[in-house]
Structure 1
């Protein structure tokens, strides 16, 4: 398969194949993911983000905004309460890290003034515009307070159970590699201070759209969740493949099933990575086929009320 990449205005090649390979490893795939599968997943994520930017741009036009903000992107996630809850908790963690970083910076003496380059009129105080956080946008969209009613992150709960089961018999070397894979993201590097330069170069190479840093942060979250949804959906497909005629519990034997009720048998997966085969292109295509299949009624594909154009759907929503 030909490698998929994006070219910016300077002709520089930008891709996230290494990061996506690590993410798939962290979500439970083989430590050496299939190269063709990684390229396909990268293409899917790129197309999903490009489509989401187009929808967010239309939303920004209706609001009369000159740039795409985090509200325009979060508005596309409004139908998935669990994802909004994850983004809500993600913002809380970012605030904690930012607060801790600011405390460390304050303890370090600097020669530069805190508010340099600001000219104030006599008798007037500086006006500081409050940044609109992701939580503010979620509260504005969530009219029924569904996000605040969720007491815990069910998605994070299931992923932690799977990770705990996978790593229970790992050696130190394997665990170190797995930990690095779990830290992979769509930021420009490890850590929160690297920014989103590479991500913007990947999804907006010609600077066609004006994206704020807050919008890029949400898009980074969406891209990460898209990779996770694909990998987890493949595990569900493998679970269905183990069904035996006449045995309703056959799919739970040695598959990849996550049961949130039982902790002892939460993840039916072999310890370590010896028993986990790499995700194939066919499995990812099956995930897309099931997700984007049009609604079927009494007459299947000839359902008379089915429109010719399928609605826009995002894997992360």
Structure 2
């Protein structure tokens, strides 16, 4: 008897809307993004197995793959800190004697592992502005300004979507485990699945980021100023007509003149990411398999 087919189609569809796609993403595009995300997660798992015993994956092996990108490591550290603060608040609500701001609060195994491999201290330096995060927040702000109250609430729900379903965390992790490893050949520790879920979320986010940049390239023409930060989101994606022309605007487009991200736009993203560009100094050697993995 074959195991039931696992799919994160509905979650990815919501995430795509939350990251800037149409209110109703193209079904074929969602399926393609799901396929790319799954393939990248499985590649990440195989890469992480090189640093383990070949059968068991903890969080450390997956986090170690991010060591070459300080910006993504910092983003993950903020994720761990937010998760820790959320747990602290929940504990405070059940135990009034618990101190939320306690400096002696346990950091967690993953945070301690990052501190051990952070020889220069650049991973833990969170003072630098996260440009990618800022652009995502700017895009979300522009979208929220174009929505009425009902659609804004739907947008907020989409912004909260992730690879953790509404059921208990344990069930959600099992779904992710079966999606990535349907034959159950790998033993994932809970922290490993948590990191894998984070990687999956970041993969979808970066695919949409790049797809919108591809769209921007097709619209900017020969105007060199079109590439200035913020100009695309305010001038190209959002124009004044949206607020005043229709009493009942079509929110399936999120904003005026914005259509759903197409399959071809996603394919162009993958072409640019996977194809070596002219001038890249690889000295004729084969690029590593991880060079196109969005999450690391």
Per the normalisation by structure 1, the TM-score is 0.77
- Among 73, 79, 88, the alignment partner of 2:68 is 79
Q: Would you say 1:306 and 2:284 are equivalent positions?
A: yes
| 1:34-45 correspondence to structure 2 within 5 Å | 34-45=26-37
Equivalent residue pairs, number: 269
- Specify whether residues 91 and 289 from structure 1 end up closer, same or farther in structure 2 by C-alpha distance, changes over 3 A only: same
| 1:25-174 correspondence to structure 2 within 5 Å | 25-61=17-53, 67-106=56-95, 132-151=108-127, 152-174=129-151
Matches of 2:26 and 2:190, distance apart in 1: 33
Q: Which runs of 5+ in 1 are unaligned?
A: 1-8, 108-129, 260-264
Paired position in structure 1 for 2:233: 267
> What does the per-residue CA deviation read over 1:224-255, in whole Å, with 9 as the maximum and x for residues that have no partner?
0110101110111112112334x422x35xxx
Q: Which stretch of structure 1 is more off in the superposition, 177-186 or 193-202?
A: 193-202
**Cα RMSD after superposing both structures:** 2.6
- Specify whether residues 267 and 295 from structure 1 end up closer, same or farther in structure 2 by C-alpha distance, changes over 3 A only: closer
Matches of 1:310 and 1:292, distance apart in 2: 11
- Among 276, 287, 294, the alignment partner of 2:269 is 287
Residues 216, 232 of structure 2: 8 Å contact kept = no
Structure in which a larger fraction of residues adopt helix: 2
Matches of 1:176 and 1:132, distance apart in 2: 34
> What does the per-residue CA deviation read over 1:106-126, in whole Å, with 9 as the maximum and x for residues that have no partner?
47xxxxxxxxxxxxxxxxxxx
Residues 55, 186 of structure 2: 8 Å contact kept = no
Matches of 2:204 and 2:3, distance apart in 1: 27
Residues 186, 220 of structure 1: 8 Å contact kept = yes
Residues 162, 258 of structure 1: 8 Å contact kept = no
SS in 2 for 1:196: helix
Paired position in structure 1 for 2:103: none
